[in-house]
Amino acid sequence: MSEDILAGLAAIVNEVAGVPVEDVQSDKSFVDDLDVDSLSMVEVVMACEDKWGVKIPDSEVKNLKTVGDAVTYISANV
């Protein structure tokens, strides 16, 4: 389950920010490692909400520091 979400998230980050799919690993920080800025993060969140039907409120987005954080949140709320 979480592997499917990681793969889906990697595809989204690639689409939105041009980061190679293989670089999108659980331990990677969106900002520090993948250079996903706050605007691109909004796009990532939108795409995740559409793909998995989850709600990711702004108050939660700031806690999603790493790819793993996002996968965990989506898995728990999907």
Give contact residues for another protein (rule: CB under 8 A).
15-18, 39-40, 42-43, 46, 50
* Residues composing the chain: 78
Smallest distance from another protein to CB 17, Å = 6
Smallest distance from another protein to CB 71, Å = 22
Nearer to another protein, 38 or 77 (CB): 38
Kindly state the helix (H) or strand (E) to which residue 6 belongs, with its residue range: helix 2-17
Say which amino acid occupies 60. Answer: E
Smallest distance from another protein to CB 37, Å = 10
Nearer to another protein, 4 or 49 (CB): 49
Question: Per-residue DSSP letters for 22-48?
Answer: GG--TT-BTTTTT---HHHHHHHHHHH
Nearer to another protein, 61 or 72 (CB): 61
Cα(60)–Cα(56) distance, integer angstroms: 6
